[in-house]
Amino acid sequence: MAYPPQPQNGGLTQDQKQIRRYAKIITYLIILIVIIAIAVYAAFTLTKRGDVEFVNFQWSDNHPFFSSAYVHATGTLYNAGSATAQDVQLTTRIYNSQGALLETDTMNIGNIASKEYKNVITDIQYSGTASRVQYEIRYLR
């Protein structure tokens, strides 16, 4: 059996150099595949989040004779997302007919699980006459 001659300078033969190149290429490909797999996993994991919507938001302006004016607001929060919405806050703003902000009220709702409903009923005292009421929903995820 004949072996390829060893180089005179103690280095690698052409075949050994070729094998080393292939080993480097395969190593780089494996690293690239692992990086892509981690990125895909992270993308799918991070897209799971809550998506809270306010359903049937209604309000009424109330001016009783013996107490302060208040807005009675009701509705249902619904998490249409694929994960729990954490630390949900509902902010309600009351405006007059000129667009001036009369009152702001923030209510901590807590967590709302995926596909879960939470009813909201609140009375917000203010001064003036309400012509518009807006809400804003905030949550961590």
Going by pLDDT thresholds of 50, 70 and 90, the confidence category of residue 33 is very high
pLDDT value, residue 140: 72
Classify residue 4: in a domain, yes or no: no
Rounded to whole angstroms, how far apart are CA atoms 90 and 117?
14
Q: Is the pTM of this model over 0.85?
A: no
Q: Are residues 62 and 75 in the same domain?
A: yes
User: Does 68 share its domain with 132?
Assistant: yes
Where is 119: in which H helix or E strand? strand 117-125
Quick one: 69 and 28 in the same domain?
no
Q: What is the pLDDT of residues 74-87, one digit of tens each?
A: 999 999 988 889 99
104 and 66 co-located in one domain:
yes
The answer on 67 and 26 residing in a single domain is no
Q: Nearest 5°: phi and psi at 140?
A: -70, -50
Token output for 3? 């072996």
What total of structural domains would you count in the chain?
A: 2
Q: What is the pLDDT of residues 102-115, one digit of tens each?
A: 999 999 999 999 99
Question: b or e along 20-42 (b: 16 or more beta carbons within 10 Å of the residue's beta carbon)?
Answer: eeeeeeeeeeeeeeeeeeeeeee
> Both 62 and 117 in a single domain?
yes
Rg over CA atoms, the chain: 32
Per the domain annotation, does 8 fall within a domain?
A: no
Print the domain residue range for 63.
52-138
Same-domain status, 33 and 87:
no
Dihedral angle sign, alpha carbons of residues 106, 107, 110, 115: negative
